[in-house]
Structure 1
Amino acid sequence: MEGESTRGRRRYRPDEQIEDILLRAAWMYYYENKNQSDIAQEFGVSRATVVNYLQQARERGLVEIRLDPVAFNRQRLSVELCRNFGLQEAVVIPGSELDLGGVALGAAKRFPDLLDEGDVVGVAWGMTIFSMSEKITPRRIDNVTIVQMVGSMESPYVFAAESCSTNIARRLGARVANFYAPAILSSVEAARILKQEPVIRSQFAELDRINKAVFAVGSCEASSHVVESGIASLDDLQDYIARGAVGVVCGRFIDGRGNHVVGRLDERMVGITPDALRGLTVGMLVSNGFDKVAGMRAAMLGGYVTHLVTDAPTAQAILNDAI
């Protein structure tokens, strides 16, 4: 913070609270519609300093920029997605290129508005969900529980399941219920025994209480996170594809109609099954990419999705294949 200055009309003492300055700068910019140069002159600082003030105000949660769902749902792609798949809402990030960062940001801005006091919210895992979790502006919603929907895994990625759920809980001031178990066990017997442990049984009870969820869809390609994280081998992947799998939801494979494809891994897995995502008040799908189109379409046909966040190229690709 700059010290006392004679360049502008408004003078600030060196010991003045920085938050007061951030609030004043944000008020002038967002409510009084003053430009950054005007604010800089008022404060007696550089324009770059004002840009920094506004950025800090957003990072501290003093200012939050929210999406207008009505406006976004007027888009042609949004209207067609809602009509074709029976969605309540489709937020389509505009642009001609695939935009994972934009999709994650759009979901981060929209998802907290869908939550209410007392909700039990299931959170999946993956790069997009982790990126979304990092972009949520801190906002406290009373008596919310965030539940990790997929067991933990040894992974080269930073976006482990427990990281996604913990990040979201921290930003919403919510309680978090993470799984103290791996996503997949070495044998069916090991999984059966583990699931009888009281702590694991209590965590499955939390899954039964979920009324809202946010998740992504994985592909059935060799580069899929379900393979690279060690849940499925390439042989496992091919076996599920032979059974009709086109995508992955919460580590489980689904077919073209969204039905759970049960195969040789399922009895060894710890976590939610796709059927449990049907009928929720909110099921937000956050995904993009041409390799995800078949899986995203299947998830919507399967009834898991009430709200969608994606980008324009992915949305168009889904509609090109719609029935």
Structure 2
Amino acid sequence: MATVTRRRNTGQITGESIVIEAAWLYYHDGMNQTEIASHLGVSRATVVNYLQEAKERGFIRISLAPKAFTTHRLAEEMRERFGLAAVYVVPDGTGTEEDALLRVARGAAEWLPSLLEPGDKLGVSWGRTVYEMAEAMPQVQTDRITVSQLVGSMATPYGFTAEICSAHLAQRLGAKLINLHAPAVLSDPELATRLRAEPIIRDQIDALSHCNKAIFAAGSCDHSSHIVSSGLASHSDLDWYIKRGATGVLCGRFIDAAGRFIPGELDDRMIGVELDKLQGLDMGLLVSVGADKVRPMLAAIAGGYVTHVVTSVATAKGMLAAG
């Protein structure tokens, strides 16, 4: 399905207007390129250029109905095997791992509006996939949605800090935003305790317990993962959790293969959602892709945090083979 905004001139159609006219005739009136060329008095090749320009300039937004991705065989097999409410599986297509991540993020952005209802309180985690999902989200009109930042802020060389993920998503949804105005991790447990008790931070953390829906990614326990490169955990922290069975990371917290929370010293210094607040929600939307995410995703599902999944064909097949 494509949408295009039409603007008409009373005189000769030129410049931007002819690009919009060509797009309208093609996507709304169902004319083929030859017919449009005849109608506009240009060559067919020119019409092709007009349609490409319309896409590049954002005059056209093409989307596919979520049903196409949630009802085919692989999605249904995932749903049944893991006891999920629904699964959205994006084709692998061609390209790099980066391309796969962007496709999955776009799929999540296409699907999310249909999963929201008036009055929902939506918790949003952080990470590259969540950030790209927020960036791909079209501007939509929602009713009384509140977006809450699930994990505190962090100094990171990347553009996908937690506050940017939640703020951008809230803006695209036209939602109220509750940011968590505190670092994700502090150096001193006592300082973290005092900061949690500050009225403004206390109220923001309390809002997290009222979220009925959440979006998050599953992080790996590799030393190259974002949990380390963002400064949330050190290499020695990671080794400590791995020795105790850590299989994945969810909202900065470590979980084992069964999805059980692994408490540790790092948690005493963290400010963010506690994992038990993510269990039993109306929707726990897990958005992840890649072979290294298979085990963390399975762990998150096993722990009861997940009701909905967006992933790629290759990752879905990997999960079914491993699960």
Please confirm whether the aligned pair reaches a TM-score higher than 0.5, indicating the same fold: yes
Distance 2:260 2:69 in 1: 30
Which of 92, 96, 106 is the matching residue for 1:95? 92
Distance change >3 Å, CA 268–CA 39, structure 1 → 2: farther
Q: Secondary structure at the match of 1:147?
A: strand
Distance change >3 Å, CA 14–CA 96, structure 1 → 2: closer
1:184-204 CA-to-partner distances (Å, cap 9, x unmatched) read: 011110000000111101101
Instruction: State the shift of 1:83 in Å.
Output: 1.0
Residue 76 of structure 1 aligns with which residue?
Answer: 73
Shift of 1:133: 0.7
**8 Å contact from structure 2 (residues 19, 51) kept in 1:** no
**2:66 is aligned with what amino acid?**
D
Q: CA deviation at 1:36?
A: 4.4
Partner of 1:281: 282
Paired with 2:59 and 2:306, the residues of 1 have a C-alpha distance of: 30
Q: Deviations over 1:219-240 (max 9, x none)?
A: 0000110100011111100111
After superposition, residues 160-239 of structure 1 pair within 5 angstroms as: 160-239=161-240
- Comparing 111-120 with 47-56, greater Cα deviation is found at 47-56
2:117 partner amino acid: D
Is 1:272 the equivalent of 2:268? no
Question: What root-mean-square deviation, in Å, do the aligned CA atoms of Structure 1 and Structure 2 show?
Answer: 2.4
What is the CA distance between 1:101 and its match in structure 2?
1.2
Unaligned 5+ segments in structure 2 are 1-7
User: Would the alpha carbon gap of residues 148 and 18 (structure 1) be closer, same or farther in structure 2, given more than 3 Å must change?
Assistant: farther
Q: CA deviation at 1:66?
A: 3.9
Deviations 1:248-269 (A, max 9, x none): 0011101111111111100110
- Contact (CA 8 Å) 2:23, 2:50: kept in 1 or not? no
Q: One-letter code of the match for 1:261? A: I
Matched ranges for 1:1-323 at <5 A: 13=11, 22=20, 27-39=24-36, 41-43=38-40, 46-47=46-47, 48-56=49-57, 63=61, 65-69=63-67, 71-95=68-92, 98=97, 99-322=100-323
- Identity, in percent, stands at 45
Deviation at 1:144, TM superposition (A): 1.0
Asked if the contact 1:58–1:64 (Cα under 8 Å) also holds between the matched residues in 2, the reply is no
Q: Secondary structure at the match of 1:245?
A: coil
* CA separation of 1:203 and 1:39: change in aligned 2, threshold 3 A: farther
Instruction: Check whether the contact 1:214–1:284 (CA below 8 A) recurs between aligned residues.
Output: yes
Listed one character per residue, the Cα deviations across residues 81-114 of structure 1 (whole Å, up to 9, x for unaligned) are: 1111111111111126651111111111111111
2:118, 2:145 within 8 Å by CA — same for their partners in 1? yes
Name structure 1 gaps, 5 residues minimum. 1-9
| Contact 2:9/2:17 (8 A) holds in 1 | no
Answer yes or no: is the 8 Å Cα contact 2:254–2:261 preserved in 1. yes
Distance 1:210 1:43, change over 3 A: farther
Instruction: Number of aligned residue pairs: give it.
Output: 308
1:31 shift after superposition: 3.5
SS in 1 for 2:192: helix
Q: Is the CA contact 1:213–1:282 (under 8 Å) kept in the aligned structure 2? A: yes
Work out the CA distance in 2 between the residues paired with 1:58 and 1:258. Answer: 44
Q: Which moved more, 1:94-103 or 1:248-257?
A: 94-103
